Structure 1
Amino acid sequence: MKEGVVNSAFVSNENLQLHRDDEQKPHEKAHEEEFSEGPCGWSNFTPSCLQCCNNAKGFVFIFGLLVIVQSVGYMMTILGVALGYIVGGQLLNIYVDVDQLQDVALSPEDPRWVGGWWIGYLIGLPAAWLLIVPFLGFPKHLPGTAKIHAEKVSQVHHDGSEDIVKEKDVGKSFKDFPLSLKLLLKNPVFMCLTLTATSEGMTSFGTSIFFTKFIENQYGKTASISSLIAGCVIIPGAAIGQVLGGLVVSKFKMKCKQTIRLAIATSFASLMFSACYVLAKCDNPEFAGISVENGATGNLSAPCNANYNCDRSHYNPVCGVNNVQYFSPCHAGCKDHVLLSKTEVYYNCSCIEDTHNTSESKAYSGKCATMCNKLPILMVLMLIAGIITCMTSTPVITAVLWCVPEKQRSFALGVQWAFIRLLGAIPAPILLGSAIDHSCILWDNSTPGSKGACLMYDNLKLASTFSLFSAAFKLISGIFIVVAYFLYKPPPGKDESNDKSSSTTLPN
């Protein structure tokens, strides 16, 4: 009797447990379906919120997140440049020969001052080597890479290169280098995108190198202050532009052709801001014998200093109380001087007295302060220009990764940067520097038989040179990106113009 009761109770409990299991099974099945192993391979990933990527929509979300991460990565490289501008600008306040600082009666405002340019290399070299250590910790492949590749929808430019790469398994050995390079060079979309990036690089590398000189000459700032201003204006704009470009591509889930359209829009929008240099230009400072007649325009000698036998090779500018700059105290006709807080004050200057008939004929060492107040205009325009210009970078790089076969992506980025460095970074300073030389109106002739550094520029010509250089290469960049748009052919059956389900299609 007791045994039957026990067996009956056992059966009852078993049925109850089975009933509970049946009630839980739908929930467990739903949970398993929700967090089953998907294209990301993150079914057991912590935090669990990232497990939602195990479906098509989730993959699109993660891809958009990766685009943003890529943009943030580029932003960090730009912030590094910003830090370099700021630190480098402060180092220019240290005299180049640090052991002779106490013996030098100069200030950073003096044009003869040479800052400690070499100190930055001593700081940057060990810091760069330290970055190698964390990079060694990355694995060859991230978890779930194979599953991601299996779920992708190709957007490679349809020119047959993808079939060749798959058939010959290109990329396994160094022997495939010639064929890989040939396939890339024959890809017209990739080449147009690469030339777009190269043209943008010409503008960026050229203007960034000489932008400090532009501020220094237009607004009469010291080298350290000019470097600080350049870093605080250009770099934040570039960083914001990089991230904003990635956000737009991610938010609208753009495909290859749509991404190229975005690059076209930003490229031509930035072209309009090439005129910002001319809009913010300043008038030339009053310089005796150059922009102000001192006996004869273009001649530093005048009746007031004719008996002084002034040395034309020794540039030591002084600013008179009449706010006119002179080549040297001798050219201002000054007879006496006194040192006050590392600033030379010159008295009894005949040229100042003869020119303006004033009883106070004295001058101060250094250039005259500029009365131009257009620097804020330049800062605002350059900030907007930097944002729009750098919004082009992320779409172009994303389009490059899409238009080439998957196994060639890393190689494609390497080839693109080789073009940017060889055809952009190297020639840009040479071309712009040569163009800037034509706007010089006063050369240093301290070395006989050779032309030294430029001592004074024509501000209008200098601003026009920057604007024309920037506009020319931005126009070239815009032309190449338009050609890439019309040459791009999506794979058969992947026509983006008729695709209405981009939000659920797995992008490549």
Structure 2
Amino acid sequence: MTEAPKKEQDIMEVAPAQEEDGKDNKEIQNFSKLIPYLRTVPRSVAKFKKLAAEKRLAFSRPLKISDPKYIASLEGPFGFGPLVCPAFQRFNNIDFFLFLYCLTVMVHGALFTLSDMSLKQMVKKFSLTEKEITIMDLTDYYASFLVAIVAAYYGGKGNRSKWLAASAFILGISSIVFAVPFYKYEIIKPLEESEELCTEKLVKTDCGGMIPHRSICIYLFIVAQCLHGMAEMSIYILGLTFIFDHVPTFSAGLYLAIADGALILGYIVGFAIGAQGPKHLQNQTLNGNTNEYNFRQWQKSWWSGYFAFAVFSWFTLLPLLCFPPRLPGANKLVLEKEKEPCSFDKRLKDKEFGFGFKDLLQATKCLVCNPLLLCCSLYKTMEFVNFRGTNQFVNLYLENQFLLTPSAATKLTGMMLFPGIVISHFLGGIIVDRLEMSCKNKLRFTVVTSFVGFMLFILILSVNCQTVKFAGINTDYDGTGILGNLTAPCNEKCDCTSTLYASVCGRDDIEYFSACYAGCRNSKYLHNEKTFYNCSCIKEGLTSSDSEGHFIDASSGKCNANCHTLPLFFAFYFSSIIFSNLPSIPITMCILQVVPTHLNSLGMGVTFTIWRFIVSVPIPPLFKKTSTEACIYWSINKCGYRGRCWIYNKSKMTYMMMGLCLGFNLSTVLISILTLFIFNRVVKGSADSVVEISN
């Protein structure tokens, strides 16, 4: 009995154990089924977390500026912030931007010319010293030099159209500041335009007293020049690169030529407005009292012109603010340009710089040490120096070599220079567009055209005329005067001034500085020509009487030199302008192509910095030294201040002034050859080094 219960107890103990073993087996089987999931799910979760982390890191890390994805992200609609109107999207293209840009550039060019003419009026009014003239004239370039790199670097990384809008606003402020002196103070006097006759000497002018508004006018002009120069850099640097980035490479030549033509048109508009001032004054009559209303009317063409330019400049402000950082289709253009042959040092391609000041210095140093960009920048600089020298010296050459009046020489120079530049720039842009030139072919084109322009300029020096007798300069007053002195016993009692150059030709075929220095006391118009009578210094030569029986001693204007070579001079001069300026647009495109796309704004900034430094620092003293050495008669006002040079030594002028212009032309030829040589070396060398690194 005892064994039976014991067995039953053992059976009862074994049964749960078996049941437990069965459960364990089932759990083991179930666990074995879960093992793949326990292995896969954690891995999947970990992988998912890793992908999510990588995605977050990718979004948090900024894209490179040169990355097409970054460029595509900047494309947007035309609108003012969140205000986007579908009807206005038709303006979201490069053609409308070009229209606004041309309008802004034209205003800037007009202000440049009109401010230069305003400075000449202030020199007459305030008897400015040479130091004051230099500061007032070159402040524009100093301001441009200081802000060019900063505007190019940070503007190139931001929304360039908004930078242009800010520049248009500053340009309008500059125009208003220019207008204030002409609106508020008397700058131009109508009496300065009157013809001078021999009258008894007056009491010496008291030069101790200062004009009350002299200082404020000078300060306002300097402030306006600073604003004008600051606005200039963003307009030209960022505007040109924006256009270049949104058109195909070969079509960029035509767009840049149109923009450059707008600048020349602005020069012409500014000159036309400034030229109306003196002409308008000749028709004015004084009412006996020079109140504020009168001189505002006399100077209306000046201050109203400045105010009009401010309005035109601010007209572009709002549309420029509506453009996105990149226009639609910019990414596609970037991808297409990447397929073109590389024309820059490939080691610059992966160079990326941040927004810090150290990055700015490193990026600038990187481009300044690039010999290819440096040579292109020097060529562009010497091209402008050549333009400035030609504009300054050729009209003086015409006055002294071909005996033209200053106004006639200036008009003829402008009629040749500005149309020639417009035509040549358009031709250069069209040639690049139609022939689809590579960067290397553009440099070859620059070498050839620069050399032809240089040879044509040499031919100019072979055209000259005979020297006419000039009283007091190359002939004395019948033995009574001294060479180099316009005063002689026959005019010593006349109150003559050398600030007004109005030459007359006597019946003795001798030219006189003015009717006063010829001793003429009376004048009248005869057959629409001004004639002079009772001239004490003119005693020889045949004379004729007018209808009233008065004998004519002299007539207004220069003596006839019987020179028939002036048309030949202008033929050579115009041809030289055409060929010398044909490379202007191609070399600008080369500057944009010899650096990577994301650095082209800074490349233009380096170019303009070099340009402004050379034009404002070494060139003005060189021009001044040349003019001083060749001058033989200066304008001296009644206060004893020396003004402009009226008469030059013909031989010195030819060798020094025109020789200097010839040197500028030659330098462009040599720099273009050097640029082509460096291009072959740098681009090929960088390609070989990249291949070696990849291997």
Q: TM-score, normalised by structure 1?
A: 0.71
Tell me which moved more, 178-187 or 313-322.
313-322
CA distance in 2, matches of 1:279, 1:319: 27
Q: Is the 1:82–1:232 Cα contact (8 Å) retained in structure 2?
A: no
- Give the alignment partner of residue 333 of structure 2, picking from 138, 143, 148: 148
- Give the alignment partner of residue 253 of structure 1, picking from 403, 426, 436: 436
CA distance in 2, matches of 1:251, 1:314: 55
Aligned to 1:500: none
- For residue 174 of structure 1, report the CA deviation from its aligned partner: 5.5
Q: Is residue 192 from structure 1 mapped to residue 375 from structure 2 by the alignment?
A: yes
Q: Relative to structure 1, is the Cα distance of residues 141 and 159 closer, same or farther in structure 2, using a 3 angstrom cutoff?
A: closer
CA distance in 1, matches of 2:622, 2:305: 26
CA distances 1:375-406 after superposition (whole Å, capped 9, x unpaired): 32333222212211111112211211121122
**Aligned pairs for 1:110-189 within 5 A:** 121-151=306-336, 152-153=338-339, 155-158=342-345, 160-163=347-350, 165=351, 169-170=352-353, 175-189=358-372
Q: Is the 2:507–2:541 Cα contact (8 Å) retained in structure 1?
A: no
Aligned to 1:82: 268
- For residue 460 of structure 1, report the CA deviation from its aligned partner: 4.3
CA distance in 2, matches of 1:182, 1:188: 12
CA distance in 2, matches of 1:116, 1:298: 42
- Give the alignment partner of residue 423 of structure 1, picking from 601, 606, 614: 614
Aligned to 1:504: none
Q: Is the 1:185–1:191 Cα contact (8 Å) retained in structure 2?
A: yes
Q: Relative to structure 1, is the Cα distance of residues 219 and 490 closer, same or farther in structure 2, using a 3 angstrom cutoff?
A: same
- Secondary structure of the 1:443 match is strand
Q: Is the 2:509–2:541 Cα contact (8 Å) retained in structure 1?
A: no
Percent identity between the two aligned chains: 27
CA distance in 1, matches of 2:459, 2:304: 33
- For residue 269 of structure 1, report the CA deviation from its aligned partner: 1.7
CA distance in 2, matches of 1:182, 1:469: 32
**Aligned pairs for 1:450-465 within 5 A:** 450-465=641-656
Q: Is residue 434 from structure 1 mapped to residue 625 from structure 2 by the alignment?
A: yes
- Give the alignment partner of residue 258 of structure 2, picking from 65, 72, 76: 72
How many pairs does the alignment contain? 425
- Secondary structure of the 1:160 match is helix
Aligned to 2:558: 368
Q: Is residue 484 from structure 1 mapped to residue 675 from structure 2 by the alignment?
A: yes
- Secondary structure of the 1:452 match is strand
Q: Is the 2:525–2:531 Cα contact (8 Å) retained in structure 1?
A: yes
Structure 2 residues without counterparts, runs of 5 or longer: 1-71, 76-88, 91-244, 289-298, 546-550, 689-695
- Secondary structure of the 2:632 match is strand
Q: Is the 2:473–2:486 Cα contact (8 Å) retained in structure 1?
A: no
Q: Relative to structure 1, is the Cα distance of residues 311 and 455 closer, same or farther in structure 2, using a 3 angstrom cutoff?
A: farther
Amino acid at match of 2:450: S
- Give the alignment partner of residue 510 of structure 2, picking from 319, 324, 331: 324
Q: Is residue 352 from structure 1 mapped to residue 352 from structure 2 by the alignment?
A: no
CA distance in 1, matches of 2:316, 2:405: 33
Q: Is residue 473 from structure 1 mapped to residue 664 from structure 2 by the alignment?
A: yes
CA distance in 2, matches of 1:452, 1:303: 22
- For residue 474 of structure 1, report the CA deviation from its aligned partner: 2.1
CA distances 1:177-210 after superposition (whole Å, capped 9, x unpaired): 1111011111011011111111111111232245
Aligned to 2:587: 396
- Secondary structure of the 2:505 match is strand
Aligned to 1:95: 281
CA distance in 2, matches of 1:85, 1:276: 29
**Aligned pairs for 1:14-29 within 5 A:** none
Q: Is the 1:319–1:326 Cα contact (8 Å) retained in structure 2?
A: yes
Aligned to 1:7: none
Aligned to 1:236: 419
Q: Is the 1:319–1:367 Cα contact (8 Å) retained in structure 2?
A: yes
Q: Is the 2:345–2:595 Cα contact (8 Å) retained in structure 1?
A: no
Q: Relative to structure 1, is the Cα distance of residues 99 and 177 closer, same or farther in structure 2, using a 3 angstrom cutoff?
A: farther
Structure 1 residues without counterparts, runs of 5 or longer: 1-39, 47-58, 104-113, 496-508
Q: TM-score, normalised by structure 2?
A: 0.53
Q: CA RMSD in A?
A: 4.0
- For residue 157 of structure 1, report the CA deviation from its aligned partner: 2.8
- Secondary structure of the 1:407 match is helix
**Aligned pairs for 1:209-288 within 5 A:** 209-222=392-405, 224-275=407-458, 277-288=460-471
Q: Relative to structure 1, is the Cα distance of residues 190 and 263 closer, same or farther in structure 2, using a 3 angstrom cutoff?
A: same
CA distances 1:192-235 after superposition (whole Å, capped 9, x unpaired): 11111111111112322454444455545555544443333212
- For residue 128 of structure 1, report the CA deviation from its aligned partner: 3.6
Higher-Rg member (1/2): 2
Amino acid at match of 1:202: V
Q: Relative to structure 1, is the Cα distance of residues 126 and 208 closer, same or farther in structure 2, using a 3 angstrom cutoff?
A: farther
- For residue 412 of structure 1, report the CA deviation from its aligned partner: 0.8
CA distances 1:323-370 after superposition (whole Å, capped 9, x unpaired): 322345564354x424448987443334322x4476876434644244
- Give the alignment partner of residue 577 of structure 2, picking from 386, 395, 411: 386
CA distances 1:223-264 after superposition (whole Å, capped 9, x unpaired): 554444333321221122112222222333222222211111
Aligned to 2:28: none
- Secondary structure of the 2:259 match is helix
Q: Relative to structure 1, is the Cα distance of residues 237 and 133 closer, same or farther in structure 2, using a 3 angstrom cutoff?
A: farther
CA distance in 1, matches of 2:519, 2:543: 14
Amino acid at match of 1:375: L
Q: Is the 1:189–1:487 Cα contact (8 Å) retained in structure 2?
A: yes
Q: Relative to structure 1, is the Cα distance of residues 331 and 242 closer, same or farther in structure 2, using a 3 angstrom cutoff?
A: closer
Q: Is residue 207 from structure 1 mapped to residue 390 from structure 2 by the alignment?
A: yes
Q: Relative to structure 1, is the Cα distance of residues 315 and 183 closer, same or farther in structure 2, using a 3 angstrom cutoff?
A: closer
CA distance in 2, matches of 1:402, 1:303: 64
- Secondary structure of the 2:250 match is helix
Q: Relative to structure 1, is the Cα distance of residues 266 and 132 closer, same or farther in structure 2, using a 3 angstrom cutoff?
A: farther
Aligned to 1:25: none
Q: Is the 2:532–2:554 Cα contact (8 Å) retained in structure 1?
A: yes
Q: Which has the higher helix share?
A: 2
